[in-house]
Amino acid sequence: MAVKKLLIIDDEPDLCRVLKKNLEALGDFEVFTATDGTDGLKLAKKERPDLILLDIIMPDMSGTEVAEELLEHPLTRTIPIIFVTAIVSQSEMLDSDGYIGNRLFIPKPIDMDDLLVKINTLLEGTAR
């Protein structure tokens, strides 16, 4: 399997560091991180990741605003996004299989096994 590029956009540097370390150790991933929406958008356009993990609540621009900009840009509109949030709990996510509306969410604290399943499922369904 070829190495897949992942981009994490989250305003918590420690979370970015831990996720990057774990994802690179557990899968064939090259992981980039950004701690705000502006840098995340720049990295997404530059690196063209296969998937983006995007925090919902960030100080400079919300994850929803970042997602809207990603969808509007031709280089990034097809990149799948998993929203990462502390707003919903694990139990709330169980009923919907991780989806709210048509968006895939994963609650904090992040369960790495669950995250890997979601990442691999999305990547298998979006071969570019």
Cα 33 from Cα 65, distance rounded (Å):
18
Cα 86 from Cα 48, distance rounded (Å):
26
pLDDT at 66: 96
> Could you give the angle at the alpha carbon of 83 between the alpha carbons of 82 and 89, nearest 5°?
120
pLDDT in tens, 32-78: 999 999 999 999 999 999 999 999 999 999 999 999 999 999 999 99
pLDDT at 27: 87
Domain 4-103 has CATH 3.40.50.1100: no
Token representation of residue 120: 């691999």
Parse the chain into domains and list their residue ranges. Answer: 4-103
Kindly report the average pLDDT of the chain as a whole number.
88
49-64 per-residue burial string, b: 16 or more CB within 10 A, e: under 16: bbbbbbbbebeebebe
pLDDT at 1: 56
Residue 98 has pLDDT above 80, yes or no: no
Cα 19 from Cα 89, distance rounded (Å):
19
| Strand partners of residue 53 | 8, 82
E-only strand ranges, 27-118:
29-34, 51-55, 81-85, 99-100, 103-107
Residue 101 has pLDDT above 50, yes or no: yes
In the structure, what pLDDT confidence band is assigned to residue 79 with cuts at 50, 70 and 90?
very high
pLDDT at 128: 44
- Range from 72-76, 97-101, 107-111 carrying the lowest mean pLDDT: 97-101
